[in-house]
C-alpha cells in the first residue's frame, strides 16, 4: 500500500474564469442580498471566511507495467490541483493511491481510502476492472469518483453509483476503429487479440461486431492477462491477415506482438486500442486509437500543456483527461463548500458532480455528464506511429 499526501500551489491566471463560474452568483447579486437582510449578510460573510479544501485521492498505476501512464496521470492531477488552488485561494491536496492496474490492489486501496474521512472525492481508478473492484466500497462510503481512462460501457449501467468518466466508452471506440480499419486501411481480414479483462473483453466484442457489420472477416483469439509471450498467437495469424487488433492495457505487450509479426515475416499491421497509447509501443506503421486528442494542438490547452512539459516532461493522451477529471471533483467540492459555508464533505461532492459543466476544457470541448455518468459528445481519435516512434494524428 502506498498513500502519500501532496499539496501544491502554483499560479495560473487562465483558471480565473473557472473560479468565477464556481463562485455562484455575481458580486453585485451577493452585495444586494447582503444589504437587504442582516442574516443574509452574516451568511455571506461566513461563506467568504471559509477557505475551501480537502483531500482528493488519485488512483493510478504508479508502479508496475503501466507506471509511465500512472505517473503521467498523477502529475496532471497535481497540476490541476495547483492551478485550482491558486485561482480560488483553496487548499485542496492530492493523496496518492497506487493500484498497479490490478483489481485486487485497487480494492485494497479503496478500503483504505474509504476509511480516511479526509478524502472527499477520488480521481480514477484507471482501468475498467479496477472500477468494478472499487465500486461496492465507494458506494457504501458515499464517495464520488471520476475516471479518466476506464472505457467499458457496462461501468455506467447502474452497478457503480457515484461513478463518472470524462472519456467515451468502448461502444464508441469499437465502431470508430472498425470504420477506419475497413475504410481507410481497407482491411479484408483481421485478427482480434482479446485479453481476458473487463476492458479487453469489452473492446474486443465492440470492434469485432463492428468489423462484422462492415463486412470484414475477423477472428477473435482470447489470451490470459498474465501471458508472457505472444509468438504462439502470431503463428496463427495467416498470410492474408491485414490487421491484428490488440486489446492490451500495457503497451509493451502491443510492441511484443508487432515485433513478433515482423520477425515471422507477416504483413499484418498492429492496431492497438487506447491502452496501447504509450512510448512503449513504437513500431513504425502501427496504429492506436485514443479517447483523447493530442492537446498540444488545441489552443485552449496551450498554457496547461506548456507548463506540464516544463515541469514534468513530455506526455501522451492518458494525462490530459485526468486534469479534467480532477477539475470536475474540485469544482464540485468548491460549489458544495461555498453553498454550505464550510469545507465540502463526500456527500457534498457527490451531490454536485452531476452538475459538472467545464466549458472549453483542455480536451477541446465542454465537459458535462449525462444521467448515467458518461461524458456527453466525446469521441475517439486515431494515431499512426511514424518512423521516429512517435504517434501522429491521422483521424
Dist CA 375 CA 291 (whole Å): 11
Q: What would the pLDDT profile of 217-229 be if each residue is shown by its tens digit? A: 999 999 999 999 9
User: pLDDT band at residue 23, thresholds of 50, 70 and 90?
Assistant: very low
The domain 5-168+296-364: what is its CATH number? 3.40.50.2300
| The model's pTM | 0.84
Which carries the bigger pLDDT value, residue 217 or residue 27? 217
Dist CA 113 CA 111 (whole Å): 6
Q: What would the pLDDT profile of 302-316 be if each residue is shown by its tens digit? A: 999 999 999 999 999
Other CB atoms closer than 10 Å to residue 70's CB: what's the count? Answer: 28
Q: Three cell numbers at 174?
A: 469499437
Predicted local confidence at residue 378, as pLDDT: 87
Q: Three cell numbers at 349?
A: 461532492
User: pLDDT band at residue 49, thresholds of 50, 70 and 90?
Assistant: low
Predicted local confidence at residue 50, as pLDDT: 83
User: pLDDT band at residue 369, thresholds of 50, 70 and 90?
Assistant: very high
CATH 3.40.50.2300 holds for 170-290+381-393: yes
Is residue 18 exposed (0-12), middle (13-18) or buried (19+ Cβ within 10 Å)? buried
The mean pLDDT of the chain is: 89
* 5-168+296-364 and 170-290+381-393 share one fold: yes
List the domain boundaries for the chain.
5-168+296-364, 170-290+381-393
Q: What would the pLDDT profile of 87-137 be if each residue is shown by its tens digit? A: 999 999 999 999 999 999 999 999 999 999 999 999 999 999 999 999 999
Predicted local confidence at residue 36, as pLDDT: 33
Q: What would the pLDDT profile of 328-340 be if each residue is shown by its tens digit? A: 999 999 999 999 9
User: pLDDT band at residue 185, thresholds of 50, 70 and 90?
Assistant: very high
Amino acid at each position: 500500500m502506498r498513500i502519500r499526501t501532496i499539496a501544491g500551489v502554483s499560479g495560473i491566471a487562465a483558471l480565473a474564469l473557472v473560479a468565477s463560474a464556481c463562485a455562484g452568483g455575481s458580486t453585485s447579486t451577493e452585495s444586494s442580498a447582503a444589504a437587504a437582510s442582516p442574516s443574509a449578510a452574516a451568511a455571506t460573510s461566513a461563506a467568504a471566511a471559509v477557505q475551501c479544501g480537502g483531500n482528493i485521492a488519485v488512483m493510478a498505476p504508479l508502479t508496475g507495467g503501466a507506471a509511465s501512464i500512472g505517473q503521467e496521470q498523477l502529475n496532471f492531477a497535481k497540476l490541476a490541483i495547483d492551478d485550482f488552488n491558486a485561482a480560488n485561494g483553496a487548499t485542496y491536496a492530492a493523496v496518492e493511491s497506487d493500484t498497479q492496474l490490478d483489481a485486487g490492489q485497487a480494492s485494497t486501496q479503496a478500503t483504505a481510502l474509504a476509511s480516511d474521512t479526509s478524502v472527499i472525492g477520488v480521481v480514477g481508478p484507471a482501468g475498467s476492472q479496477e472500477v468494478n473492484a472499487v465500486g461496492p466500497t465507494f458506494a457504501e462510503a458515499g464517495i464520488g469518483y471520476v475516471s479518466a481512462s476506464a472505457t467499458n460501457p457496462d461501468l455506467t449501467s447502474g452497478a457503480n453509483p457515484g461513478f463518472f468518466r470524462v472519456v467515451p466508452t468502448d461502444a464508441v471506440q469499437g465502431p470508430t476503429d472498425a470504420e477506419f480499419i475497413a475504410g481507410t486501411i481497407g482491411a479484408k481480414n483481421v485478427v482480434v487479440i482479446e485479453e481476458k479483462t473487463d476492458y479487453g473483453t469489452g473492446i474486443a466484442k465492440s470492434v469485432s461486431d463492428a468489423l462484422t457489420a462492415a463486412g470484414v472477416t475477423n477472428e477473435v483469439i482470447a489470451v490470459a492477462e498474465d501471458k508472457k509471450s505472444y509468438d504462439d498467437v502470431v503463428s496463427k495469424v495467416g498470410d492474408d491477415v491485414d490487421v491484428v487488433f490488440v486489446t492490451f492495457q500495457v503497451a509493451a505487450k502491443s510492441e511484443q506482438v508487432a515485433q513478433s509479426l515482423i520477425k515471422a515475416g507477416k504483413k499484418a499491421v498492429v492496431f492497438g486500442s487506447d491502452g496501447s497509447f504509450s512510448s512503449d509501443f513504437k513500431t513504425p506503421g502501427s496504429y492506436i486509437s485514443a479517447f483523447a486528442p493530442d492537446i498540444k494542438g488545441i489552443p485552449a490547452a496551450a498554457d496547461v500543456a506548456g507548463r506540464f512539459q516544463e515541469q514534468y516532461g513530455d506526455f501522451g493522451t492518458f494525462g490530459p483527461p485526468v486534469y479534467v477529471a480532477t477539475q470536475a471533483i474540485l469544482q464540485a467540492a468548491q460549489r458544495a463548500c461555498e453553498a454550505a459555508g464550510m469545507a465540502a464533505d463526500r456527500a457534498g461532492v457527490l451531490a454536485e458532480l452531476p452538475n459538472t459543466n467545464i466549458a472549453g476544457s483542455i480536451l477541446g470541448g465542454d465537459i458535462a455528464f449525462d444521467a448515467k455518468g458518461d461524458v456527453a459528445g466525446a469521441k475517439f481519435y486515431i494515431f499512426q506511429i511514424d518512423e521516429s516512434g512517435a504517434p501522429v494524428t491521422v483521424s
